[in-house]
């Protein structure tokens, strides 16, 4: 035996032996089973050190369990759909499928050379119809349970990559990969109703054994807020603007209402008012991650509309504010500059009244903590908590408000990739969407002619004809 360990020689020989004997293929027997699955890698081309670390950890666990006589099943697969394959395909004039499969073969060799003990007989590639059929089946079953719905919503549109981007993929108003100026578009999208489970998700965090900082991040992401919906009558109309507020105790300090630039009233006004139109254009450049919005300069424009304060009857000006999110609460905010930093900056900039209605030990304005009420009519002297309750009760009596719980968690939008993604199993019959039957699945991606760049599915004639046939069958 040689004194020196030569990995290239020894490992290669041993790995060949493993392969010959199908060493890691899992077959059921009487032993206790152990299933070990690490996250599938994206087949980007080559493994990096992060992969090596990640997959070594899974493999160490599998080997340990094997040595303890468990019947271990450790499979591997590829998270193989996604835009990078399409971009590479366009740049290199290969099909996304060939590009992906070539990368997989290369990375598989690399994984093998690390000696990781996978059962390759069960390998999955998420771009294969045998796999994504089940995504379509799950979509259908969610739909049948009322957990999938379609709604118009605003998205970040990257005109170069011709795709929708998540807020986190927009950096300073530009696409993270293409660098293109992002456009805000309103399009129909499918959503999965994960918000139905918000409370359950939040409560079950108490039961999982995770580091506390991770749990805090999760709680913030779910973002439960207890507050109230409060209605302000729009002057000279019978319509209301409804705000969501977590601080009804500050209602006597309201100096303005602010609506989102994407609110239907803003859009309507922009049709006839050129300065509002210009303002909305300016706001379009800044839709991005919420965290960026919080830092951005607060900008607004007066709509000229007034609303009536539900308790004092005072006229309150309605502004459009770039800091108001359309898809949180009601898309309308009551501005209380004496007690909210953002409202304070806004009111200072546009010279609006700043009234203190909560008194604490804090000096100067804004006073952010809760305390006792001042300048608030019958509610003076009450604590914030007590006053909030009483104020909401009075609003409820007048049919102008009620308690409301809001979550920051949004329903999950499943906009697909241009071409290289799982087709959503829906056809349109007389303009109405029909989710396909499980017997009609999988709806497969059309093959691309050799050397042609992938085009969006909606423009692919083969695919459209295929769907037409499905429509006729019913």
CA 380: distance to chain centroid?
Answer: 42
Cβ-contact 103, 43 below 8 angstroms? yes
Query: 256: closest CA among 329, 331, 351, 395?
Result: 351
Query: Which CB atom, from 125 or from 247, has the smaller least distance to ligand ANZ?
Result: 247
Query: Which CB atom, from 331 or from 421, has the smaller least distance to ligand ANZ?
Result: 331
Query: Which CB atom, from 324 or from 457, has the smaller least distance to ligand ANZ?
Result: 324
Query: Which CB atom, from 97 or from 247, has the smaller least distance to ligand ANZ?
Result: 247
Query: 265: closest CA among 232, 228, 296, 295?
Result: 232
**How many angstroms separate the Cα of 312 from the Cα of each of 307, 395, 400?**
12, 12, 13
CB of 445 to ligand ANZ, least distance (A): 38
d(CA 177, CA 471): 37
CB of 235 to ligand ANZ, least distance (A): 20
Instruction: Give residues with Cβ within 8 angstroms of 464, minimum separation 6.
Output: 458
Give the binding site for ligand ANZ (CB under 6 A): 225, 244-247, 250, 323-325, 328-329, 331, 333-334, 336, 339-340, 406
CB of 404 to ligand ANZ, least distance (A): 10
**Eight-state DSSP code of residue 408:** S
d(CA 277, CA 455): 34
DSSP 3-state assignment of 280?
A: helix
CB of 295 to ligand ANZ, least distance (A): 14
Query: Which CB atom, from 51 or from 339, has the smaller least distance to ligand ANZ?
Result: 339
Query: Which CB atom, from 126 or from 245, has the smaller least distance to ligand ANZ?
Result: 245
CB of 352 to ligand ANZ, least distance (A): 14
CB of 172 to ligand ANZ, least distance (A): 21
CB of 423 to ligand ANZ, least distance (A): 34
Query: Which CB atom, from 104 or from 318, has the smaller least distance to ligand ANZ?
Result: 318
Query: 99: closest CA among 112, 86, 110, 108?
Result: 86
CB of 329 to ligand ANZ, least distance (A): 3
Query: Which CB atom, from 126 or from 250, has the smaller least distance to ligand ANZ?
Result: 250
d(CA 137, CA 269): 44
CB of 296 to ligand ANZ, least distance (A): 12
Give, to the nearest 10 degrees, the angle between helix 7-20 and helix 96-113: 110
- How do strand 124-125 and strand 77-78 relate by DSSP bridges? parallel
Residues in the chain: 474
Q: Which helix (H) or strand (E) holds 187?
A: strand 183-192
CB of 359 to ligand ANZ, least distance (A): 13
Give, to the nearest 10 degrees, the angle between helix 264-272 and helix 274-284: 130
DSSP bridge partners of 227: 404
**How many angstroms separate the Cα of 470 from the Cα of each of 130, 140, 204, 434, 464?**
19, 16, 42, 11, 10
Instruction: Give residues with Cβ within 8 angstroms of 210, minimum separation 6.
Output: 218
Query: Which CB atom, from 127 or from 352, has the smaller least distance to ligand ANZ?
Result: 352
Query: Which CB atom, from 15 or from 360, has the smaller least distance to ligand ANZ?
Result: 360
d(CA 383, CA 83): 54
């Amino acid at each position: 035996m040689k004194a020196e360990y030569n990995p290239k020689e020894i490992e290669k020989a041993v790995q060949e032996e493993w392969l010959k004997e199908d060493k890691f293929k899992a077959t059921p027997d009487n032993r206790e089973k152990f299933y070990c699955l690490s996250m599938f890698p994206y087949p980007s081309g080559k493994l990096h050190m992060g992969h090596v670390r990640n997959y070594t950890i899974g493999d160490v666990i599998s080997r340990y369990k094997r040595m303890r006589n468990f019947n271990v099943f450790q499979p591997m697969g590829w998270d193989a759909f996604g835009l990078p394959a399409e971009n590479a395909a366009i740049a290199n004039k290969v099909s996304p499928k060939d590009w992906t499969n070539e990368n997989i073969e290369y990375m598989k060799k690399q994984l093998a050379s690390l000696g990781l003990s996978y059962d390759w007989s069960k390998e999955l590639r998420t771009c294969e119809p045998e796999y994504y059929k089940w995504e379509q089946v799950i979509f259908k079953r969610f739909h049948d349970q009322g957990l999938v719905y379609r709604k118009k919503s605003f998205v970040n549109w990257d005109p170069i990559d011709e795709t929708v981007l998540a807020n986190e993929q927009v950096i300073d108003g530009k696409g993270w990969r293409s660098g293109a100026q992002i456009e805000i578009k309103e399009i129909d999208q499918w959503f999965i109703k994960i918000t139905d489970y918000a409370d359950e998700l939040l409560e079950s965090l108490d039961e999982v054994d995770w580091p506390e900082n991770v749990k805090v991040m999760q709680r913030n992401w779910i973002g439960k807020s207890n507050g109230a919906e409060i209605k302000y009558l729009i002057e000279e109309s019978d319509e209301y603007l409804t705000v969501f507020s977590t601080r009804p105790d500050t209602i006597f300090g309201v100096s303005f209402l602010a609506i989102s630039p994407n609110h239907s009233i803003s859009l309507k006004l922009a049709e006839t008012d050129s300065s509002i139109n210009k303002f909305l254009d300016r706001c379009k450049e800044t839709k991005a991650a919420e965290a960026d919005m919080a830092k951005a300069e607060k900008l607004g424009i007066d709509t000229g509309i007034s609303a009536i304060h539900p308790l004092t009857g005072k006229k309150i000006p309605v502004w459009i504010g770039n800091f108001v999110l359309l898809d949180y609460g009601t898309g309308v905010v009551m501005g209380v500059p004496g007690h909210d930093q953002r409202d304070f900056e806004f009111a200072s900039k546009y010279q609006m009244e700043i009234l203190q209605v909560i008194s604490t030990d804090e000096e100067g304005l804004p006073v952010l903590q809760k305390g006792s009420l001042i300048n608030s009519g019958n509610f003076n002297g009450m604590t914030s908590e007590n006053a909030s309750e009483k104020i909401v009760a009075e609003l409820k009596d007048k049919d102008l408000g009620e308690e409301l719980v809001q979550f920051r968690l949004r329903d999950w939008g499943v906009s697909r990739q241009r071409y290289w993604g799982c087709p959503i199993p829906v056809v349109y019959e007389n303009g109405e969407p029909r989710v396909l039957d499980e017997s009609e699945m999988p709806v497969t991606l059309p093959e691309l002619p050799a050397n042609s760049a992938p085009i969006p599915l909606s423009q692919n004639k083969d695919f459209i004809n295929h769907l037409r046939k499905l429509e006729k069958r019913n």
